[in-house]
Structures are given as C-alpha cells and as structure tokens.
Structure 1
Amino acid sequence: MTSWKNLLGPMRVPFLLLTPACVLLGVGTAYWQTGHLAAWWHIGLVLVAALAAHISVNALNEYVDFKTGLDLRTQRTPFSGGSGTLPQQPTLAPAALWIGLISLLVLSLIGAYFVALRGWTLAMIGLLGILVIVAYTPLITRLPVLCLIAPGLGFGPLMVIGTHLALGGELSATVVVASLVPFFLVNNLLLLNQFPDVEADRSVGRHHYPILLGRQRSAYIYALFLGLAYLSVVVGVVGGVLPATSLLGLLAAILLPRVIRGVLRHADDLPHLMPYLGLNVTLNLITPVLVAVGLFLAA
C-alpha cells in the first residue's frame, strides 16, 4: 500500500484537477455546436486520454528533474518544485519513467481510436501534443518563448480542440476562441510557478522568462496574459462565436485586481507571493468550468 501511494507522487495527483476543467470546456463547445451531448463512454475515454497526457508530462518531468539533480536544489512549495518523491525515495526513479511512458502509450492508443473515428485533423493535434509532452522538460524549458506558451498550448488549443473534435464537433471559431481561455491561464500558471525556482532552474541550464527578464518584469507578462484570458471571452461573445452565457466566466475575474496587484507587488518577495500562487490556481480551475457551464446553458 505504501509503495502504491508513493507511485502517485510522480503523477502529481493534486494538480490533475486542471485536466477535467479543460476537458469540460471542450465538451461544452461540442455540445453547443452539435446540439447534443456525446456518448458518455466517449467523454470518459477523452478524459482518460487527457489525464494520461497530464500524468505523462508530470512523471517524465519528475524523472528528468531527479536525474539532473534539480530536485535536490529546488526549495519545494505547494505549487512548485515537484512532488519531492524521488529525492526521498530514489529507487522509485525507474517507476516514474515507466509511469510517464505507459501513460503516453495509453494516450496514443485512445488517440488512434478517435483518429480512426474522426479523421486526420485530430491526428495532427495528437502528434503535436505528444511532441510537447516528450520535449517539454529536456528542450522546451531551455527556450523562453516556447517555455512560456507550451503549457497553455497543451491545455488550451490541444486539449480543448482535441476534445471538441473527438466528440464530433467541427473545427470552428467557437472552439478556437474558447481554447484561448486556458491557453493564457495555464501559461500563467507555469510562469508564476517558476518564480520560486529561478536560482535552481538556472543552475541546470533552464532558460525561462523569470530567468531571462527577472521576476518583476515577468510579473507584467503575467498581468497581460491574465487580462487576455478574460478578454477572449468578451471578444468571443461580441463577435458572436460564443453565447452570452459564456460571460459567466467573468465571475472569476473579480479576483483579478487582487491577484495582479499582489503579483506585481510581491514578485521578488516569495513568502508573500505564495497566497497569489494559490489564487492563480483557483482562477485556472474555475474559469474554464464557468465558461463551459455558460455553453451548456445556451445549448
């Protein structure tokens, strides 16, 4: 029992809540576009594939960070620095690698089923997703621009549009605009979570914006992306590609002044920054869900 619980560490189970929130948004766009809910077992398969993708990138990240020694230099927080499982139990490193690879296989098999069902547009999305998963830790984290946008690409356009297509929706402005919400939010999630890891990440050759520009300047990127996430909903409604009920997502925006002010004020004051990392997680979880609820109400 103890060994099984320890294997959950590299999966970073508490962070997996983000996946169903993003999948729900794709379910919502498909429902609004087609006028009917897809088969429950198809929705279940999509969710399993999305969770497999998230688990794979988490486990591979844990494995590489342990092997490079980064885990031993990082000061862990509730939001960054990995699970801490492998530094405490190094013998689990091969298991973490296998978790990452098996999860990638599960994703690929489910993806192949939906490609056979829906066509090759979905294949291109799936292949790009696999590339992001495999390249994220060893390569993408060393390239500031890619490091900034890869997380949002994975959980936004790739996951939301992939879900939408797998459930029978057609590629449209609706799903593209909806996917911009998690695109900007999840980019920000990883960006802000990099603030505590600047010194440790620099020591192993990583090169993201908090390293390149410093925390304070990166905080302005964070504020910009946060605004763009909610502006995407407004633009979608005004442009007629999202229903007015999608504006439910703006309910989460009541936290924006507090979060932006706190991040800008405490960018270099990590102990005081921690509460805002928590609020940032809250925004990532509730905003896609509220937009999805708006889509279901309008259908």
Structure 2
Amino acid sequence: MTQPLEPTLAMFQNPFARYFAATRPAFLTASLMACLIGLAVAWHGGAAFDVPMALVTLLFALLAQAGVNVLNDYYDALNGTDAQNTERIFPFTGGSRFIQNGVMTQAEMRNFGFALMAGVAVAGLWLMARSAPQLMYVGLAGLFIGWAYSAPPFRLNSRGLGELCVAAGFLAITVGTDFVQRKGFAAAPFIAGLPYALLVTNLLYINQFPDRTADTAAGKLHWVARLPIQSARWGYSLIVALAYAWLLLGALLDWLPLWSLAAFLALPLSIKAARLLLQHAAQPRQLGEAIKLTIGAMMVHGTLLSLALLLSK
C-alpha cells in the first residue's frame, strides 16, 4: 500500500495551514458524527431545535478533539513512542509526525493544544449558560478524559484504560449534544450513542497494532501491547459484537426506532476489517485496508443511525 507523504516544514510554510493541519482535521469527522447522532436523538425526542446552539455545540466538539489530537502528539513526543515507531501506517498511526519531522516544536504543539482546550472551556461555558448548569459535568469529564488519556501522571491509555476513555469521550459528545437541545439528561443519547462510540473505540484498537512495538518500548502498555498478538487480535471482534448486540437490543426493546437496524448495513465493513486483522495482526504494515474499513464502518453506522432517528420521529 502506498502511503501519503509525511508532513515537512516545506509543505506548511503558511502558519495557518500548519496549525490547522496539526489538528489532524480529517479525523475530526469522528466528533462530527457523534454530534450528528446527538442532534438526531434530540430531534427524534421532540426537543425544540436551536440551530445556533447546535452549531456552537459542533464547534465545541471539534475543538475538543483537535485539542486532544495535538496534546496526544505532544505527550507521545515526550515519552518517545512516535520517534521510534518504524511500523506506523501514516496518516492513521504513529501520530501526525509534525514534531518528529520538524514542522512544529514540542513547545508549539503543547501551547497550541492547551489553547484549543481553553477555547473548548469558553464554548462550554457559553453553552452551559444557554442550556443548564449540569452540562458542566459532561464538559469536565470530556476535558479530563482527553487530557489524562496520554498526559502524566495519569497516562490512562498506558494503564489499559484507553479503550474505555475513547468510548466514554465520544459517548459524552453525543450525550452533551442532546443535552444542549433538550436542556436536561435523558437515556436516549446514551442508548443511541453507545454502538457508535464502540466502533470509534475499534479505530483506536486496530491502530495500536502498527504502534505496538514502539508503544511497548516506551511503556505505553495498552491492551494490544499487554496481550500476546494471537489473543489481542480477538479484541476487535469482541467490540464489534458488543456494538451490534446493543443496537439490536435497543431496537427489540423499543428503546430505539426499528429503522435504527438499518445501521447493521455497516456490519459487513467491520467483519471484513476483523478478518483482515485476524489474518495480519502479526504483520501490522498490512493493516491499512482494515483501518480504512474501520473508519468506513463508523461513518456508515453513524449516518444510517442518524437518518433512522430523523425519519422516524
């Protein structure tokens, strides 16, 4: 598989383009989809729809993921995992390479990441003032998870809690988006958002196979690093099974509209990715197609679930 060229300073002479690219904008679609699911849940539940609030919520979510992406690059540069990663599949694994390739310094990435997080705090305070004070709990939880995922002293991913962090973080986006429209908590966004959050978690999970050697050397001991390859490869299939079992249960118990089962059309993508991982887990450089299928499964699932909620109001 031909990989895209890694970034160099010559590619990003324009400071705006450089800082924008450092956020890894192509991957912000994960937060975008989590927001869309939250908005669809609120619409389906009959909440009075506020378009300006929806747009600020979307900005809030995108800034949050951008900040997490940048800070993760910074902390992975500190612990050395990205610098020694020779099995990476760019642009999916091994970080943005901005620090390693001299595009930005560690200090620039650190300052930019915390500036983005400050922007998240401002947007969150505005949303909280316009909706309800309880939104603060969602915002604080999201900020803590995003920072503590890779930052010392917590380094939650290194402690085997990375998958839980990703699932909780993206579920918080869906719940928070619904909260802003509904102005209160409800079970619906938790129920609808969990399968998507699990599929996003699988993107983290499969990305850790190409990074496994470097992460292990740097002490970044997530489950893919802790378990033998032959055991770790089954984790992906388990997460897929949990996601679609929950979706089916939600529809059967009438927690979700029956049309939500249309999201099962994304399942073949996950199955194909799982098969490729089972076959090539020990040859991580051959997992590029499986990673793309994982992203496709996320986006197809989220799109179909959102449409089902919107159209079955």
Q: Is the 8 A contact 2:35 2:174 kept in 1?
A: yes
Q: Is the 8 A contact 1:10 1:62 kept in 2?
A: no
Amino acid of the residue matched to residue 153 of structure 1?
A
Moved more, 48-57 or 248-257: 248-257
- For 1:42 and 1:84, the matched residues in 2 are separated by 35
Matched residue, 1:24: 36
- For 1:255 and 1:268, the matched residues in 2 are separated by 21
Matched position secondary structure for 2:256:
coil
Q: Is the 8 A contact 2:270 2:294 kept in 1?
A: no
- Please tell me whether residue 149 in structure 1 is matched to residue 164 in structure 2: yes
Matched residue, 1:185: 199
Matched position secondary structure for 1:70:
coil
Matched residue, 1:125: 138
How far the C-alpha of 1:278 sits from its partner, in A, is 1.1
Equivalences for 1:273-292 in 2 at 5 Å? Answer: 273-292=287-306
How far the C-alpha of 1:272 sits from its partner, in A, is 2.7
Residue by residue over 1:212-256, the C-alpha shift from the partner in whole angstroms, topping out at 9 and shown as x without a partner, is 113331221110111211222211111111111211211111223
- For 1:180 and 1:62, the matched residues in 2 are separated by 27
Distance 1:169 1:221, change over 3 A: farther
Matched residue, 1:14: 26
Indicate the percent of aligned positions where both proteins have the same amino acid: 27
Correspondence for 2:94 among 66, 71, 81: 81
- Please tell me whether residue 115 in structure 1 is matched to residue 128 in structure 2: yes
Equivalences for 1:217-232 in 2 at 5 Å? Answer: 217-232=231-246
Count of residue pairs the alignment pairs up: 296
- For 2:104 and 2:285, the matched residues in 1 are separated by 32
How far the C-alpha of 1:35 sits from its partner, in A, is 5.2
Matched position secondary structure for 2:82:
helix
How far the C-alpha of 1:259 sits from its partner, in A, is 2.0
Moved more, 114-123 or 223-232: 114-123
Equivalences for 1:29-68 in 2 at 5 Å? Answer: 29-34=41-46, 36=48, 38-68=49-79
Unaligned runs of 5+ in 1: none
- Misfit runs of 4+, over 6 Å: none
How far the C-alpha of 1:2 sits from its partner, in A, is 2.9
How far the C-alpha of 1:124 sits from its partner, in A, is 1.0
Distance 1:193 1:91, change over 3 A: closer
Distance 1:9 1:172, change over 3 A: same
How far the C-alpha of 1:94 sits from its partner, in A, is 2.2
- For 2:279 and 2:123, the matched residues in 1 are separated by 45
Q: Is the 8 A contact 2:74 2:106 kept in 1?
A: yes
How far the C-alpha of 1:118 sits from its partner, in A, is 2.7
Task: Indicate the structure with greater helix content.
Answer: 1
Amino acid of the residue matched to residue 221 of structure 1?
G
TM-score with structure 1 setting the length: 0.93
- Please tell me whether residue 200 in structure 1 is matched to residue 200 in structure 2: no
Q: Is the 8 A contact 2:148 2:156 kept in 1?
A: yes
Amino acid of the residue matched to residue 35 of structure 2?
V
Q: Is the 8 A contact 1:19 1:51 kept in 2?
A: yes
- For 1:211 and 1:113, the matched residues in 2 are separated by 41
Moved more, 100-109 or 84-93: 84-93
How far the C-alpha of 1:22 sits from its partner, in A, is 0.8
Correspondence for 2:156 among 140, 146, 153: 140
How far the C-alpha of 1:163 sits from its partner, in A, is 0.5
Amino acid of the residue matched to residue 197 of structure 1?
D
Q: Is the 8 A contact 1:53 1:103 kept in 2?
A: yes
Amino acid of the residue matched to residue 61 of structure 2?
A
- For 1:260 and 1:190, the matched residues in 2 are separated by 14
TM-score with structure 2 setting the length: 0.89
How far the C-alpha of 1:273 sits from its partner, in A, is 2.2
How far the C-alpha of 1:90 sits from its partner, in A, is 5.9
Alpha carbon RMSD of aligned pairs, Å? 1.6
